[in-house]
Structure 1
């Protein structure tokens, strides 16, 4: 085998190995992009459903604009995903074209070698020539080796034919794959053009909605202030409820620790003290008991007192809190189908310039009749009913809390145990705007957190 043939084989093997590894990577990446695209298309369908319901009122609203804004962002993300799909197919096409050229060169080389073999075989085609080749051997061993050579030579010719046929079939397969890739690319380009057209239509509707809302700026400012006041009032109430629960937990922990000290001092529960004995009186009894034990030289082993600032969780609650925290980015959505139409935190108002709004939750648009679902296992801490406002359910997960606001109906009550995805209420539909929006918030102790990064993507 000459140097050129060896080099050619090495290059072909390297290209083959690279093709296989890239092919596996490309398939995984394409599947990931397909899943992402399907998810974005589903979100666009949800947005269309929300907007379709809102259009029945023939009125522009802030929620309608927020839904349009989110739909535009989703459409732009979808276009980016399609562009990545096209770029990936371009890479595959380039690789397949290189593979096809390599296969063609390999087939040409095989055919040339086979043609040379045929020419040599033709020159020595007579049986006499083959017999003379064997009989001219100097000894028996050489004759046997020559017979073996002739057999191997014939077998090698048959193998060459088979190899040419196999490489030819592989070439046809690669050409077929290339054509399919080009067809898929063309379909994606058509889809991209359609999505771009839809995006322009949505941006046009977005501009019209903004113009319509800006014409109502005076009314909007009053609505914005009213909504912000309601959000602030709800946030304060939730914070008060959580703070009260933390205070009770601390009080229970302190009382348990105090009773442990009393038992360690030799006091008998039910005889020397009971559950109604005030903490101050129980502390006096412990001091007196310890003094008596000291006077009689009786050793004491008093437990460490619990700091009043600690938030002592039970082992079950601590485990629940750890599990909740470990599921950040994987929590199920609090509605079966929905999109985020209002972001968490401080942000400029989408229509009225110079006004800043502060959301203590995210707002999830969904369709009329949708049910709110628990995002994780927990216990209902409270069902908040503020006069003139929809219902809010607070669920405790150790020292984490989730709240579900803007409910028209609650299916649970304080103290109920709930599981992830369990329906806990029906989301309220505003009759004036025909909008169905769930307010979803997450707290750690009394601190608010952005819920969006916690939800599964």
Structure 2
């Protein structure tokens, strides 16, 4: 009887650990699959937004930048699918071990059950049913003995059936996992081939660049000039923010040298609400991909040249409308002579900036709501791309938009 209790205990422990392992791994698998689908969607979008118009004669700089970006996305996709395949392999191995353990336990339980039946039969052959009852202290004890044997046998039978059922479930799961692994391996191979194709195309671009190596300084100059234009607009934005901070402090009777906004109770509440939505803010456009991320990185044309981005640059559809990511007040509308239009919206002590616009739908001082359309992205005539530059400030310091915008 003690042996049966031990088997029962070990059975439920094994079943519990199996369930925990499968649930944990399945959750990880779901997370990887969600990430893989996001990357596949991003590749589909960049094919539409960056590579759709091959008839358009884009500059060498633009072509190399686009290919460099696409290759990086594909590498991420391949990495994710490799992780999925590896996880599936571990799941299959773990489940096979569980099946082996359950089979071993089933075998032991069957042997124990068979031994019990034999023992019961021998006991019955040695003495009659009447003698078995008379050996009891009383009738109630004899009845309990019979019931115990019956329940004991029923329990063994149910345990055996339950183990068979769980084994069948695990075998079915392994069949599914093997099928998934085959699908993932196929996907990995497809991605590897696509990556090779892109690398070949990138090499062709490198050949073109090498063939005009004597003019490489011209392209480097173009990159530097473009960065200077961006820096110039960024400095104008920083000045507008400094002036706005100083004005808020003067109005509140505080030092105008402060680097943070002096907020009214209403503005504090708005800022707190903006903070509470960190990571959940909507995209400033309905559809797009992040071509340039926050921070400083080397140019794919000339690695000695650094490209600085105070925010993110989102490639979107031509003529795409821009929307406010949160409620607030239009702090400023910029219309520089040698630059594209920009809108600055204040949310307490936070400011969101939308640059590279062709049309403006709001004016300085206007109150705006979340997802309200505020303008339209301009399409670059040289590259044929519509790129929105989106920036977030907290007081006088830039923030990484990827930390604030949902799945950016």
Q: Please say if residues 332 and 421 of structure 1, whose CA atoms lie closer than 8 Å, have aligned partners that are also in contact.
A: yes
Of 338, 342, 364, the match for 2:314: 364
Of 247, 257, 260, the match for 1:309: 257
Q: Secondary structure at the match of 1:68?
A: helix
Q: Which residue of 1 aligns with 2:395?
A: 445
Q: 1:233 to 1:126 in 2, by over 3 A?
A: same
Matched, 1:377 2:327: yes
Q: Which residue of 2 aligns with 1:296?
A: none
Q: Which residue of 1 aligns with 2:41?
A: 42
Q: Secondary structure at the match of 1:167?
A: helix
Q: Which residue of 2 aligns with 1:234?
A: 233
Q: Secondary structure at the match of 2:138?
A: helix
Q: Tell me the alpha carbon deviations over residues 381-431 of structure 1, each in whole angstroms, 9 at most, x when there is no partner.
A: 122111242211111122222211111212222112122332221111123
Q: Which residue of 1 aligns with 2:374?
A: 424
Once superposed, what is the RMSD of the aligned Cα atoms?
2.7
Separation (CA, whole Å) in 1 of partners of 2:166 and 2:348: 61
Q: Which residue of 2 aligns with 1:145?
A: 141
Of 338, 344, 350, the match for 2:300: 350
Separation (CA, whole Å) in 2 of partners of 1:377 and 1:213: 46
Q: Tell me the alpha carbon deviations over residues 124-166 of structure 1, each in whole angstroms, 9 at most, x when there is no partner.
A: 66898213322x437xx43442233123323432332233222
Separation (CA, whole Å) in 2 of partners of 1:316 and 1:418: 15
* 1:144-163 equivalent positions in 2, closer than 5 A: 144-163=140-159
Separation (CA, whole Å) in 1 of partners of 2:87 and 2:50: 34
Q: Tell me the alpha carbon deviations over residues 290-329 of structure 1, each in whole angstroms, 9 at most, x when there is no partner.
A: xxxxxxxxxxxxxxxx334344221222222333344444
Q: 1:221 to 1:65 in 2, by over 3 A?
A: same
* 1:1-400 equivalent positions in 2, closer than 5 A: 1=1, 8-123=7-122, 129-134=128-133, 136-137=134-135, 141-213=137-209, 215=212, 217-254=216-253, 306-310=254-258, 311-400=261-350
Separation (CA, whole Å) in 2 of partners of 1:380 and 1:42: 33
Q: Please say if residues 68 and 300 of structure 2, whose CA atoms lie closer than 8 Å, have aligned partners that are also in contact.
A: no
Separation (CA, whole Å) in 1 of partners of 2:158 and 2:295: 70
Q: Secondary structure at the match of 1:168?
A: helix
Q: 1:49 to 1:397 in 2, by over 3 A?
A: same
TM-score by length of 1: 0.79
Q: 1:80 to 1:357 in 2, by over 3 A?
A: closer
Q: Tell me the alpha carbon deviations over residues 422-457 of structure 1, each in whole angstroms, 9 at most, x when there is no partner.
A: 222111112332111111122233444443333333
Separation (CA, whole Å) in 2 of partners of 1:126 and 1:233: 104
Give 1:100 deviation, angstroms: 0.9
Q: 1:145 to 1:253 in 2, by over 3 A?
A: closer
Tell me which structure has the larger Cα radius of gyration.
Answer: 1
Separation (CA, whole Å) in 1 of partners of 2:207 and 2:141: 95
Q: Which residue of 2 aligns with 1:267?
A: none
Separation (CA, whole Å) in 1 of partners of 2:131 and 2:6: 38
Give 1:353 deviation, angstroms: 4.7
In terms of mean alpha carbon deviation, does 160-169 or 183-192 score higher?
Answer: 160-169
Separation (CA, whole Å) in 1 of partners of 2:220 and 2:359: 29
Give 1:80 deviation, angstroms: 2.0
Q: Please say if residues 67 and 365 of structure 1, whose CA atoms lie closer than 8 Å, have aligned partners that are also in contact.
A: no
Separation (CA, whole Å) in 2 of partners of 1:66 and 1:456: 25
Q: Please say if residues 246 and 257 of structure 2, whose CA atoms lie closer than 8 Å, have aligned partners that are also in contact.
A: no
Aligned residues: 402
Q: Please say if residues 279 and 405 of structure 2, whose CA atoms lie closer than 8 Å, have aligned partners that are also in contact.
A: yes
Separation (CA, whole Å) in 1 of partners of 2:127 and 2:8: 37
Which residues of structure 1 form unaligned runs of 5+?
Answer: 255-305
Q: Which residue of 2 aligns with 1:303?
A: none
